Amino acid sequence: MTSADAHGPAAGMDAVGWAMRCPACGHPLGKLPESTASVESDPDDADADALADAHSASGAVAAVRCAACGARWPCRDGIWRFLCDTDAALLADFLAEYTGVRRAEGRAAMTAAERFALPDALSTTPLAWQWRIRAASYRTFCRAVLAGGMPGRVIDVGAGTGWLAWRLAVGGAAVLAVDVSDDAGDGLGAGEPYAADLVARGLGRRFVRAVAHADRLPVADGAADLVVFSASLHYAVDPAATLAEAARAVRPGGRVVVVDSPIYARHASGVQMVAERAAAFAARYGYPSTAQGSREFLVAGELERIGATIGLDFRHARPYVDVRWALRPLTARLRGRRAPARFAVSIGTKRGARIGDRHDRGRESGRTRML
């Protein structure tokens, strides 16, 4: 699969000004500038002063400012910074440990060719076995979520380097790639090749990167058609709160999709996995990498229970990796080991769909089942 045909012909929204809100106080910030160059505020816009805080001699917008609380949200190195100081302080230890582990795993050493091939791993790609799972999930995501058409606006929460955001932008979506890390090896900073590629295609305005907390997304209510967590929801301390924020950010009839977070049939199995992982990390890296207190897993039925309280109706599509992967539960039982996690593409549709919305239920090639 090449980058250009990842989701069919490029179409959709070339330029999009995301409707933003202050993550500190929730006050509207107006439309995010489509670029940081030559953007002037609209004198008729009540929120125009929020977009006119700092102009260089060339007229570049350096930050947006909240008219209500005075918070200033800058853009540096092509990445908007919407992380509150309190969240940054709480995340400092986690990010130090997380970045250390990811670099030790070789993720930061990926070549441009390896990054552009993702989620299909090249023979030289670090942790290629993990990417085999990601690739299977991505194929299922395309069938179950994108088969009815590319959403106009997508928020990729926990975007990492932005490989998924890049593919969606090539396919026609306007994507806001959100992560708490701007690391140049494995965070949003590593997405520069993707940004440059889209600029070369004339699609640069479709790909916006922002450092922000998943529990305080810097967008207005209903700003997105789709919010996706790709291998990221299990990092939440409180998945219910994180999903509630995603539900706020998506429009009625839009979708919140959870991909590649481990789901265990029993809570005890997840707890055991976390303990095993912490012990392995402590032995290998010198720390368990548990500073944030993340859940690290979901439990069967949990998404449905959360969705019932926040207005999301979940269904699930099961990716197929290979026979050996499918037989893991049986193999674990025969060997007397804990049950392994299952991975799914879990699709939550926000209630209150507008007339004419289509979500193409049941188009997952028969692999849909409830978890």
Domain locations in the chain as residue ranges:
79-350
pLDDT reported for residue 16: 65
Tell me what pLDDT residue 79 has.
96
Q: What is the pLDDT of residue 35?
A: 53
pLDDT reported for residue 53:
44
CA angle centred on 356, ends 350 and 358, rounded to 5°: 60
- The domain 79-350: what is its CATH number? 3.40.50.150
Residue 342 burial by Cβ neighbours in a 10 Å radius (0-12, 13-18, 19+): middle
- Please give the average pLDDT of every successive group of 10 residues along the chain, which has 371 residues: 37 62 97 57 40 41 88 95 97 95 94 97 93 96 96 97 98 97 97 97 95 98 98 97 98 98 96 95 93 93 98 97 92 93 97 56 37 48
The per-residue pLDDT for 318 is: 94
Query: If we measure between CA atoms, which residue out of 297, 304, 144 comes closest to residue 226?
Result: 144
pTM exceeds 0.75, yes or no: yes
Helices (H), the chain: 85-104, 112-117, 128-144, 163-171, 192-201, 239-249, 267-285, 302-310, 323-326, 328-334
The alpha-helical segments, DSSP class H, found in 66-152 are 85-104, 112-117, 128-144
| SS3 label, residue 227 | strand
